[in-house]
Amino acid sequence: MVSEIAENQELIAQSVRDLSERLIRPNVRQWDESQYFPADLFRQLGEQGLMGMLVPEAYGGSGLGYREYVTAIVELSRVDGAVGLSMAAHNSLCTNHILLFGNEAQKEHYLPRLATGEWLGAWGLTEPNTGSDAGNMRTTAVRDGDDWVLNGAKNFITHGRSGQVAVVIARTGEPNTPHNATAFIIERNTPGFAGGKKEDKLGMRASETAELIFTDCRIPDSQRLGVVGDGFVQSLKVLDGGRISIAALSLGIAWGAYDAALAYAQERQQFGQPIANFQGISFKLADMATDVEAARLLTYQAADLKDEGKTVTKQSAMAKLFASEAAVRVANEAVQIFGGYGYIKDFPVEKFYRDAKLCTIGEGTSEIQKLVISRQILK
């Protein structure tokens, strides 16, 4: 079994590496500068099985585990973190929420479309005024006969405009009370549901981030995911896996920045020799390599525990915390090694530097990860 996993992992790594070099690398700078979201690319990723990696084959997915899934995110993110981010959000948030908590009719209807890349998924939890204070969310869903009526807005949503379907968590009880939120599946053409402002971001600019807006948006009760009041509990379980995705995204960005710096340090000549020969540079590379390896070990440990069906709350938070902060450190040092060239767009490390920072914020800031970890170890 171990050798089979290793073989699958290597096949996926090589396949995604080849795909990234062919379809993504030639377009990285153009997509980034224009904030172009390459929707057609994700349909191609779906054809390759990358948009439903965790979805069972019975629902049109690849039926793979977290180790293989992490490998795919890493390889995409070594070339372009924005593509890795969109692929991860689609798989681990929207699609995975339906997979984990949808009833059979919901799974049969939505998962094949999401897993093949025919539809792109969004996931709405964060709001403009609440952030991590999800218990106080202002987006509400009010029961009206056999329907629910949603009003409010979500922000910082990946695929907020382009996603054909969104899983949205809305408050169905009083603010700051237990079990006061419920999850719903909402299709793009539903009256009263619209995409709002697209954010102009520092990094990850080819991954679309926008608002979701609900104005008297009426949906049938059949679009409810799970039990009324269970939405936040569901979200925490979804985020356990999502943090592994962000750890993988961080690992890929760190690895890409390290690869670029290592190659440059061996090519760049100063005082008649490669700058890698100077201790100041070689020690930076040593620290970067150590950060990448430690992030890799933590990320794959969390993925393996997830595949074994074990609780991963602590391990996923640790992986996400360390890998995201490591990505920032490694990207920073990569810019330093490139010197002035690291500060211009002709070279790749300035983009890794901009992209890395989001990893310490999205799906729970570093401070939230420390809160999660401390609660786990102080039980």
What does the buried/exposed string (b/e) look like for 7-43 if buried means 16 or more CB atoms within 10 Å of the residue's CB?
eebeebeebbbebbeebbeeebeebbeebebbeebbe
- Among residues 232, 375, 234, 241, the alpha carbon closest in space to that of 311 is found at 241
Per the annotation, the verdict on 68 as an active-site residue is no
Look-up of token digits 């039980």: 379
Look-up of token digits 């919901």: 106
DSSP string, 267-286: H-EETTEEGGGSHHHHHHHH
Look-up of token digits 């009880």: 173
Q: Are 357 and 328 in contact (CB under 8 A)?
A: yes
Look-up of token digits 């800031």: 365
Residue 165: beta bridge partners?
A: 121, 187
Sort 6 into a burial class: Cβ within 10 Å, 0-12 / 13-18 / 19+: exposed
Strands 121-124 and 165-171: parallel
Report the Cα 92 to chain-centroid distance in Å. Answer: 7
Please give the single-letter amino acid code of residue 368.
I
Strands 181-187 and 224-225: antiparallel
Look-up of token digits 């009010």: 142
Catalytic residue among 75, 187, 363, 367: 363
Residues carrying an active site annotation: 363
